[in-house]
Amino acid sequence: MATPFVHVENVAKRWNGQLGVENVSLSIPRGSFVALLGPSGCGKSTTLRLLSGLELPDEGRISIDGRDVTTAAPSDRNLSMVFQSYALFPHLNVAENVVFGLKVRRVAAAERREKLKRALEITGLLGYENRKPGELSGGQRQRVALARAIVANQPLCLMDEPLSNLDAKLRASVRKDIKKLQVDLGITVVYVTHDQTEAMSMADMVVLMKDGHIQQIGAPEDLYYRPANTFVAEFVGSPPMALIEGAALPGFEGVPLIGLRAENVHVAAPGQGRLRCQVSECEFLGSETFIGLTHPSATGLTVSMPGLKTIPAGQSLDIGFADEHLHFFDASGQRAETRPPRPAE
């Protein structure tokens, strides 16, 4: 098995006894795009700061490209960073901001000019060299930060929620730019986000965290189709996976919780469904409408219907679904890999 490019082994970080992260272990292949995903306070930014050297772990070991960097300074880790705040110097123009790190490292002027031109071409900033950050849009400022990471020419780039200050349309555009840059340059990216759309659309590997612990590591489709526990099931996906008490479904009385995705639910004829629910809301999204449902033994039940559908709140609706689309969870919320045996007839 190939040696991972970035290896994090049983890392922990605490502040005055308060948990930051605990028992975090990661193996990141060279050239991959890894998203650290989770709600606020889950430990994803702390993990990134430990990788960067901005924080040092209380326990565990971190290696990059086969070298132990657990206590190394950020400047000794051969990485670049892109921050949420852009971190641009307001008094310097675009070109000066991009090559600032090269000047600090005393890179020759000819090499700086060559790297600057290439980075501006890649990020679509040619012609903006003499503008100050205050004269740029949010998306252009983020591209300057990306250009600065490109000229650093480091094999590892850490990104801390770089798109959270942009509007939705611009986020989608810059998201594509970042992914294309990562592929074209062949660099390894570790990307912190609380936005599952960013993580699922960009990453080869998603690391979902909660309360300082890793909940699941895998490809986006693994987290969506095979969630390791009920937290993953409810966090990943829009709408999230519904959870139904097994006692509500004949034949599954011995199962504590059953998961079901909205796309696997259909409206059944009255009296022909497997659950009778009440409509709580209708959310029209253009090509489809999400119908929110309530049932005393379920949470998060939703059915997707094509086009515009308006159903009054409180109306009864029968729903159906196939057994093959059910996910099973034990009493602790962990995924059960085998379906339970049906009771004897």
Q: Which of 2-11, 109-118, 224-233 has the highest mean pLDDT?
A: 224-233
Q: pLDDT per residue over 233-260, tens digit each?
A: 999 999 999 999 999 998 898 899 999 9
More confident residue, 343 or 307: 307
* Full domain range(s) for residue 124: 6-231
1 domain-assigned: no
Are residues 248 and 117 both part of a single domain? Answer: no
pTM, two decimal places: 0.89
Residue 345 has pLDDT above 50, yes or no: no
Are residues 290 and 221 both part of a single domain? Answer: no
SS (H, E, C) the chain: CCCCCEEEEEEEEEECCEEEEEEEEEEECCCCEEEEECCCCCCHHHHHHHHHCCCCCCEEEEEECCEECCCCCHHHCCEEEECCCCCCCCCCCHHHHHHHHHHHCCCCHHHHHHHHHHHHHHHCCCCCCCCCHHHCCHHHHHHHHHHHHHHHCCCEEEEECCCCCCCHHHHHHHHHHHHHHHHHHCCEEEEEECCHHHHHHHCCEEEEEECCEEEEEECHHHHHHCCCEHHHHHHCCCCCCEEEEHHHCCCCCCCCEEEECHHHCEECCCCCCCEEEEEEEEEECCCEEEEEEEECCEECCEEEEECCCCCCCCCEEEEECCHHHCEEECCCCEEECCCCCCCCC
Are residues 227 and 323 both part of a single domain? Answer: no
Are residues 280 and 202 both part of a single domain? Answer: no
Are residues 287 and 190 both part of a single domain? Answer: no
Are residues 165 and 256 both part of a single domain? Answer: no
Are residues 125 and 271 both part of a single domain? Answer: no
36 domain-assigned: yes
Number of domains comprising the chain: 2
